[in-house]
Amino acid sequence: MTELIEKLYTSGDLTDSEFKILVESDKDSELLAEYADKVRRKYYGRKVFLRGLIEISSYCRNDCFYCGIRRSNRNAERYRLSREEILLCCENGYNLGFRTFVMQGGEDLYFTDDFMCSLISEVKRKYSDCAVTLSLGERSYESYRKMKEAGADRYLLRHETASPELYGKLHPSEMSIANRKECLFNLHELGYQVGAGFMVGVPFQTTEDIIRDLRFLQELRPHMIGIGPFVPHHNTPFADKKSGTLGLTLRLLGILRLMFPKVLLPATTALGTISPDGRERGLKTGCNVLMPNLSPVNVRKKYDLYDNKICTGEESAECVVCLQRRIESAGFEISCERGDIVL
């Protein structure tokens, strides 16, 4: 295993059969973490970039089988934030030191292009030193173009799985990986900093599927890669499926850091949900981004993607203090920069 890890460290790539061995083994995980940490430190030092996550809507027209806010979940509590509420989240976040706001939500047609463009321009006018990231799912080329012109800087759209067969087992037939990929390439072409990614340990996923994800990421060359464990939600068709594991998620984070030395790699909330020190372990395995929740406390439990999601009870300020303590005791430092990818 040592040779494979060293080969990945020096060349940034492996053959499919070598990836299969590395992904399926749990040997030498400390060595993999050490190398991943070394590469991360080379480009980003000890900095951890914070992104303030504002969960703007729990309405969704999609029906992804794994997701707690899918449209068929009649028990999901629906809410959407008003323009004023979103601007207030940004103001709180700005005062707490955030210089990136991520507006994420289900695919909610209430958030028209006009609504979003006016909101984005207002946020950029008030906080010109901040980056605006959107994560609103699949929209048309025109919609992405308008929002880019209004000032949006980045877009997060996990591809979920690059395998059409697995994609079909995780989504209803009206959704397709072809459309999702097209959206990602459109976003790239329009000049967004793009984030793609996938869930680890999602039902039916094989090592071959994961290797396809790695190959797709090589083709797309995103600026950010979001991966986290699948966690079941009790009101979805995958209620009785197992969560993805900490071990495999960390292994893939380490592999991704060695494949994409400069990429922005978040230690996700889902990772912190399956293990109390999951996010710290992620930081020690090459991650350099955290996305604390800036949503109003009264809606946090309603953005209920999976069971036992952490950080749904605290105020934003408490979240930041807690994370600061965790980051520092893990040997890292919070950065108040916008946190763009290094060139």
| Positions that interact with ligand FES (CB under 6 A) | 60, 62, 64, 67, 69-70, 106-107
166 in contact with ligand SAM (CB under 6 A): no
230 in contact with ligand SAM (CB under 6 A): yes
SS3 label, residue 198: strand
Answer for which of 305, 319, 323, 327 binds ligand SAM (CB under 6 A) is 305
Q: Which does 50 bind (CB under 5 to 8 A by kind): ligand SAM, ligand FES, none?
A: none
Q: Which does 70 bind (CB under 5 to 8 A by kind): ligand FES, ligand SAM, none?
A: ligand FES
Q: Which does 199 bind (CB under 5 to 8 A by kind): ligand FES, ligand SAM, none?
A: ligand SAM
At what angle are helices 83-95 and 113-126 packed, to 10 degrees? Answer: 30
Lookup: tokens for 13: 């790539």
Between 157 and 311, name the residue whose CB sits nearer to ligand SAM.
Answer: 157
Q: What angle do CA 236, 78, 152 make, to 5 degrees?
A: 100
Length of the chain measured in residues: 343
Residue 72, C-beta contacts closer than 8 angstroms, at least 6 positions apart:
63
Between 47 and 279, name the residue whose CB sits nearer to ligand SAM.
Answer: 279
66 in contact with ligand SAM (CB under 6 A): yes
203 in contact with ligand SAM (CB under 6 A): no
Q: Which does 158 bind (CB under 5 to 8 A by kind): ligand SAM, ligand FES, none?
A: ligand SAM
111 in contact with ligand SAM (CB under 6 A): no
Among 257, 228, 137, which Cα is nearest to 187's? 137
Between 62 and 324, name the residue whose CB sits nearer to ligand SAM.
Answer: 62
Between 5 and 196, name the residue whose CB sits nearer to ligand FES.
Answer: 196
DSSP conformation class of 65: T
Q: Which does 254 bind (CB under 5 to 8 A by kind): ligand SAM, ligand FES, none?
A: none
**Distance (Å, rounded) from C-alpha 190 to C-alpha 186?**
6
Between 62 and 324, name the residue whose CB sits nearer to ligand FES.
Answer: 62
Instruction: Tell which phi-psi region holds residue 82, choosing left (phi > 0), alpha (psi between -120 and 50) or beta.
Output: beta
Beta-bridge mates of residue 328? none
Beta-bridge mates of residue 132? 101
One DSSP character per residue, 298-328 reads HHHTTS-SSTT-SSSSS-HHHHHHHHHHHHH
**Structure-token match 């909330």, residue found:** 269
Please report how close the Cβ of residue 13 comes to ligand SAM at its closest, in angstroms.
25
Among 65, 224, 251, 238, which Cα is nearest to 157's? 224
**Contacting range for ligand SAM; rule: CB under 6 A; set: 44-52, 100-108, 111-119, 281-289:** 100-108
Between 67 and 131, name the residue whose CB sits nearer to ligand SAM.
Answer: 67
Among 110, 107, 61, which Cα is nearest to 81's? 110
Q: Are 90 and 101 in contact (CB under 8 A)?
A: yes
**Contacting range for ligand SAM; rule: CB under 6 A; set: 36-44, 188-196, 224-232, 287-295:** 224-232
Please report how close the Cβ of residue 151 comes to ligand SAM at its closest, in angstroms.
20
Which residues bind to ligand SAM, rule: CB under 6 A? 66-67, 104, 106-107, 135, 137, 157-158, 160, 199, 228, 230-231, 233, 270, 305-306
